[in-house]
A = this chain, B = another copy of it.
């Protein structure tokens, strides 16, 4: 008797929802699970280990494509540290780019907030700026990747 688990058990053991396990099977990130006579999917501890691998990689923000590659490397005896580095490094570069993008949004928004009264008056530099970024209300300069020179 194999030690097998239902999809619900695999889900709670791995942290991957049953929905997503079926999804990962459909997109062929994981192999199709064995089935009972009645069609229920069965998962071995090794399968659950793989699912946990996937969930951890997702937590680090890896895309499914990246994870597919990482899984291949994980199970490939001839892999090299370099191979893994390449995948992880590409992701790190993307993460840092995303972080920079978000920070420039935050910076621009914070600048707008500086001039905002936050009261009952209708005047609002935030709207003014969105309506016309060229209008010089406050000569506070901010370098911005989106080309906003004048920010609130």
Interface residues of A (CB under 8 A from B): 49, 52-53, 56-57, 59-61, 70, 73-74, 77-82, 84-85, 88-89, 91-92, 95-96, 98-99, 102-103, 105-106, 108-110, 112-113, 116-124, 126-127, 129-133, 146, 148, 152
In the bound assembly, the distance between CA atoms of A105 and B96 in angstroms comes to 10
Cβ of A127 and Cβ of B82 under 8 Å apart?
A: no
Quick one: given A56-B148, A148-B56, are A109 and B91 in contact (CB under 8 Å)? yes
Identify whether the interface residues of A are mostly helix, strand, loop, or mixed. Answer: helix
Residues of B close to A152: CB separation below 8 A: 81, 84-85
Q: Is the CB of A60 within 8 A of B105?
A: yes
